[in-house]
Amino acid sequence: MTQDPKRRPDAVPEAPTADAAPLDDDFLSPEHVLANMPHIPEPAPEAPADSTPGPAAENAAHPADLPPSEDLVELPSTWEVEELPEIPAEALTPPPAWSAPQPPAEAVSPPTPSAAAPPETPPTEAAPPDAPATPPSAPQEKPAAPPADTPPAPPEAPPAPSSAPEPTATSTDAPLAQIPVAPAPATEVVLDCSAGRMLLARGEITLLDEKDGLERFRLWVADTRDTLGPGAVRVDAPPKYAPLLARRLLARGGELDDTTTLLPLSRKRLGPNHTLLGFHLMTSAETARLGHLHAKSRHGLLLHDASSLLLGILRGERGTVAGFLQFPGSITALVVRQGHVLWGRRQMLAEDHGPAWASAVRALQADITFAGKENGFEVDQTLWVAGLTPTRDLPLEDARALPVCALRTETGTRYSALPLAHVHHGASLTSPTERLAAALRPWEPLAWAMVLLLGLFLTAGGLWLHSTAADLAQQAERLAARKAELLRDLAQVQQETAFSAEHAALAQGVHATAQAVLQAEAAPPVAALWNELARLKPESCRLLTLEMRYEPWSVQLQLTGGIELPMTQAQAVFDAFQRDLAAADYTVAAADLHFDMDGNAFTMTLHRNFGK
């Protein structure tokens, strides 16, 4: 059988092509189901050289080719015995190590002579005393003849005390592990799945009509039959243009058409022009329906499909994680590393519990193992998330399950791990604004408490300021009254000590006379000023006139004279005369030197302060 890449959204190394081979029908055959039954372990690593693989072995080598379609819903849970002769004997022959398991040492009792089995009889079959000896090859074909979900036929005789117990590690009738139960959370979530629209809140499930569930902001999870499933593909393009090229490649391979929408989940850069794109396929009708729901909601919705919700759960895990999310009628599987999708698939289920359901889940886990060998990844841990299940059964022994809460319904109890407290909403179908609103919703009570405290603080501050303002107003009134009283006292004092107009004029006259006497006493005499000027003038300079005018606490001098020297020397003598006057505390207000034929004449205005 050839591997079919046409229905392989999880095929990471190569995108689907248009010339892919048609889907092989062997994946829906009894051989494939029996090959993936959990009671048959994997074959030994080294097979005999002359052995030829049969159809079951060929299907087991390509478990990833099982398409996530609704055809699996029609699979029967059991197979009739008359179909078994069509299966080749090579596919039903288990390895020798499985056909004869060794019992534990403490479980072996001493054999009795009456019940001792012949050496060639396998320890797993209790032979009666009168049973004939069988060849060694007969016990190898007999355990694989009944189907996985058919209980073994009772032996003809009671088993001997020395016969070994049958292996139950891989039997589908063995009890499954139970998922732990946690208290129901206070938050709510609306689940829109193939079983209907229901509200999961306060420990019970409420069925909703088409118009219900939009009265306030809620987490909305959609998983209907129009959801095709996730996948991953490598494209030769930068992350910005990876969805466009992936859409073209998937359309060329027949995975995408005009009625299908591709929603990017993650983008991982593998090189300058190489990107690993994790995507999710959904019909355009389902996309339009969800968009209509979002438009009808006044308060907004945080929309998730099964793939985006599972990716948000696995983003918080370390290493390479395989996650399973089960909803009524479907199961979604993703392999995520550091928030990037490496592999994905959505598979429809005929039932949500029971042996056939456990076998389907284990077959899907085998597909992940095979895909890891093809694409170069190895799963470090497995996470099981029960979206809505009728039981707490855990079909995978090596998986870690998120705790579930019991939900009451009219038909019985259901179990769900939703809503989850820690989910990364980066892959949500809604806008970034509503994602931010969803992230801030846990802080909403604290925000309202802070607003309330702020309101109380402002109210108390306003009351305090009002009382303080009243006190300040009273204090201002008291100060105003005190000021008026002081002004009245000052007016009375001024009235008592004020001079009359006649007394004021006399006092002013006396003051002016006293000032004049003081100035006259302090003013230098005219003779002293003349002698000082005569001493300061140069020998070649003669003074012709001197005018003196006494001012308050200063005297103004007006000098005229001439310099009996040539023109070139007269200017130097005149400048030296000004410097000498300035050194003697005279201020030269103006100085002019005139040259003519009759001689050199000058005029000078001086000021000198005295007294004070």
Q: Using one digit for the tens of pLDDT, what is the confidence trace for 96-114?
A: 333 333 333 333 333 333 3
Phi/psi of residue 282, each to 5°? -145, 145
Report the helix count and the strand count for the chain, using DSSP H and E: 13, 21
547 and 415 inside one domain: no
Kindly state the helix (H) or strand (E) to which residue 205 belongs, with its residue range: strand 204-207
Does 532 reside within a domain? Answer: yes
| Predicted pLDDT of residue 360 | 92
Amino acid at 266: S
Q: Do residues 390 and 328 touch, judged by C-beta distance below 8 A?
A: no
Of 400, 430, 445, the one marking the end of a domain is 445
Q: Report the Cα 362 to chain-centroid distance in Å.
A: 34
DSSP 124: T
Per-residue tokens: 421: 């407290």
Selected residue with higher pLDDT from 276 and 507? 276
- Interstrand relation of 381-386 and 399-401 (parallel, antiparallel or unpaired): parallel
Q: Do residues 139 and 118 touch, judged by C-beta distance below 8 A?
A: no
Domain count, the chain: 2
Where does the pLDDT of residue 185 fall: very low under 50, low under 70, confident under 90, or very high at 90 and above?
confident
| Predicted pLDDT of residue 500 | 66
| Predicted pLDDT of residue 84 | 38
428 and 309 inside one domain: yes
**pLDDT (tens digit per residue) in 31-80:** 443 444 444 344 444 443 343 333 333 333 333 343 443 333 333 433 33
Q: What's the CA gap between 306 and 251, in Å, rounded?
A: 23
Amino acid at 273: N
Selected residue with higher pLDDT from 131 and 276? 276
**Is residue 403 reached through a cis peptide bond, with omega within 30 degrees of 0 on the bond before it?**
no
Does 201 reside within a domain? Answer: yes
Would you state the torsion angle of the CA atoms of residues 366, 369, 373, 376, taken in this order, to the nearest 10 degrees? Answer: 150
258 and 402 inside one domain: yes
419 and 534 inside one domain: no
Domain assignment of residue 549, given as a range = 520-609
Residue 549, number of CB atoms within 10 A of its CB: 9
DSSP 185: P
Q: Which of 135-139, 155-159, 396-400, 587-591 has the lowest mean pLDDT?
A: 135-139
Does 173 reside within a domain? Answer: no
> What SS3 class is residue 83?
helix
**Its pTM surpasses 0.75:** no
264 and 366 inside one domain: yes
Where does the pLDDT of residue 174 fall: very low under 50, low under 70, confident under 90, or very high at 90 and above?
low
Does 19 reside within a domain? Answer: no
CATH label of the domain that carries residue 577: 3.30.980.50
- What are the residues facing 279 on neighbouring strands? 231, 264
Does 254 reside within a domain? Answer: yes
> What SS3 class is residue 84?
helix
551 and 438 inside one domain: no
| Predicted pLDDT of residue 279 | 92
436 and 551 inside one domain: no
Does 545 reside within a domain? Answer: yes
**172 Cβ contact list (under 8 Å, min separation 6):** 37, 38, 39, 148, 149, 355, 358, 359
Of 445, 466, 490, the one marking the end of a domain is 445
Does 226 reside within a domain? Answer: yes
Residue with tokens 């020998």: 539
Radius of gyration of the chain (CA): 55
Q: What's the CA gap between 63 and 1, in Å, rounded?
A: 12
527 and 441 inside one domain: no
431 and 569 inside one domain: no
Tell me how far apart the terminal alpha carbons of the chain are, to the nearest angstrom: 129
Of 445, 464, 490, the one marking the end of a domain is 445
Which of 217, 209, 280 minimizes the C-alpha distance to 247?
Answer: 280
411 and 558 inside one domain: no
Q: Report the Cα 532 to chain-centroid distance in Å.
A: 99
pLDDT at 532 over 90: no
545 and 426 inside one domain: no
Per-residue tokens: 308: 């985006």
| Predicted pLDDT of residue 143 | 37
pLDDT at 17 over 70: no
Amino acid at 560: T
Does 176 reside within a domain? Answer: no
C-alpha angle 86-92-93 in degrees, rounded to nearest 5: 140
Residue 63, number of CB atoms within 10 A of its CB: 20
C-alpha angle 47-48-54 in degrees, rounded to nearest 5: 70
- What are the residues facing 205 on neighbouring strands? 200
| Predicted pLDDT of residue 421 | 64
Which of 306, 340, 316 minimizes the C-alpha distance to 418?
Answer: 306
DSSP 9: T
435 and 558 inside one domain: no
Arithmetic mean of pLDDT over the chain: 73
Q: What's the CA gap between 37 and 45, in Å, rounded?
A: 19
- What are the residues facing 40 on neighbouring strands? none
